[in-house]
Chains A and B, each alone.
Chain A
Amino acid sequence: MANTGWDEFEIGAMLRTFEGEAGDTVGTLQEDRNYTQNSSFSASVADWRIEKPVFNKDFCIDCQFCWVYCPDISIISRDKKMIGIDMDHCKGCGICVEVCPTNPKSLLMFPEQADEESEIANWPAKETKEK
């Protein structure tokens, strides 16, 4: 399938998003779905990024602002908890960092090649508000 050009298909051929029956999509989380190669979920836009978001769960309050405002469904929230970032689909726009309300922010942008663990170890301290 991956090497078949669009003009090599029979007219009216069907490319399916899911293997077999689609079933109950709305009751199935992404990790439990059976995607085919035709869903863009199987693709990656990781090479679009210049900067990547790094998530520090120590400061996260699970407000889910990043989840609702992420344009690329890259914030993984399960059971009302933010558990991480889907690096295959993140385009590095930085909206999640902008909307994060904690102090210091629990998401920050770093260059793509930065080492996550060392960045989390050197996380900026809490900012004091000037009066």
Chain B
Amino acid sequence: MSEMKKIKNLKEFSTSADRFEGANLLCPGCAHSIIVREVLNATNDDLVLAASTGCLEVCTAVYPYTSWDASWVHIGFENGSTAVAGAEAMYKALKTKGRLKQPDRNPKFVAFGGDGASYDIGFQWISGCMERGHNMMYVVLDNEVYANTGGQRSSSTPIGANATTSPAGRVSYGETKNKKDIVAIMAAHNIPYAAQVAPNKWKDMVKKIQHGMAVDGPVFINAVSPCTTEWKFDPKDTMHLTDLATDTLVFPLYEIIDGHELNITYRPKNVIPVEEYLAAQGRFKHLFKDQYKYLIKEWQERVDANWAYLNRREEARV
């Protein structure tokens, strides 16, 4: 096993040589590239990457340019995970046969996918990868909507959000189904590591990525990625929105080891009411009309219940 990159503080982190390039076509203020940079800079090892169709894929590989300085596979909506799993299986086979030119380089296999490609379209493929036990990492860039195709709802879209296929108006308050708990589903495959991360907590993120790369077996990472276009906020507020998501506990940060050992890795000192998180985004604007105000209360109850559930699981070690 190659040595883990030492990142003690942000100054040390900032000496990393980026392997993801600027002048990609992601929107100004997009959190996708912040997450990708933090993942890529967390390791010094060679990387084999893939991206399922989504904002990240189409914006970083527009002819004649590529924004990736590592091996990267551009592939269909559903099979980013299996492309990387295939590369990993091939690598293992060649290693066993002794046919690798540089057998001691230990590349890391990482697949990226949006929430559409992971929660919906590529779901069974990811499940397959997790079940087969490939030595790979799957990172979801969860912006809770199909942002690339114009903001259709995905199964990650939370209740009350205005999406183009679940529009809010006089008769409807927008999305009516709650968000799928993908980390719990993936952890139920008894994989060695599943975690939820946010780009604003970079140290927590780097720690989890490095842990994930060090363990042998499939790793699932869910990263919150505020979308300035579809969540409807000012590009400069991306980090503010991420702070709100983690501090209101809408997006709690935790890890699940071996499918049962749950650890909460970030406990906000001051928990902010969910109302502030909702108020900061244009997609929840209609919830503040009298007619739909009861939904805000329901939101808070749901978030509190989820936090209590996570705490109980952490305590009980199940």
Contacts and interface: CB of A to CB of B under 8 A. Distances in A.
Decide whether A and B assemble into one complex.
yes
A92 B38 contact: no
B129 to A, nearest CB: 26
B77 to A, nearest CB: 21
A12 interface: no
Given A68-B10, A93-B29, A29 B17 contact: yes
Given A40-B66, A68-B38, A94-B29, A73 B238 contact: no
Contact of A92 (B10, B18, B26, B28): B28
Contacts of A4: 64
Contacts, number: 141
Contact of B22 (A28, A41, A64, A97): A41
A110 interface: no
B22 A74 contact: yes
A98 B21 contact: no
B28 A48 contact: yes
Interface in A30-48: 30, 33, 37-45, 48
Given A26-B44, A98-B239, A1 B21 contact: no
A119 to B, nearest CB: 18
Contacts of B228: 93
Interface SS of chain B: loop
Given A25-B19, A89-B23, A40 B65 contact: yes
Contact of A62 (B11, B62, B236): B11
B143 to A, nearest CB: 13
Contacts of B21: 39-41, 73, 89
B188 interface: no
Contact of B236 (A64, A80, A98): A98
B34 A1 contact: no
B106 to A, nearest CB: 13
Interface residues of A, number: 54
B23 A64 contact: no
A25 B17 contact: yes
Nearest to B238: A95
Interface string A53-95: 0000000001111011111111001111000001011111111
Contacts of A45: 22-23, 25
Interface string B188-205: 000000000001101000
The interface centre, meaning the residue of A1, A37, A39, A40 with most chain B CB atoms within 10 A of its CB, is A40
Contacts of A91: 28-29
A2 B69 CA distance: 20
Given A68-B202, A74-B22, A93-B29, A38 B64 contact: yes
A99 interface: yes
A77 B28 contact: no
Given A40-B66, A72-B23, A93-B235, 11 more contacts: A17-B66, A39-B65, A40-B22, A48-B28, A65-B10, A68-B14, A68-B34, A74-B22, A80-B14, A94-B236, A98-B239
Interface of A: 1-2, 4, 6, 15, 17-18, 22, 25-30, 33, 37-45, 48, 62-65, 67-74, 77-80, 86, 88-95, 97-99, 109
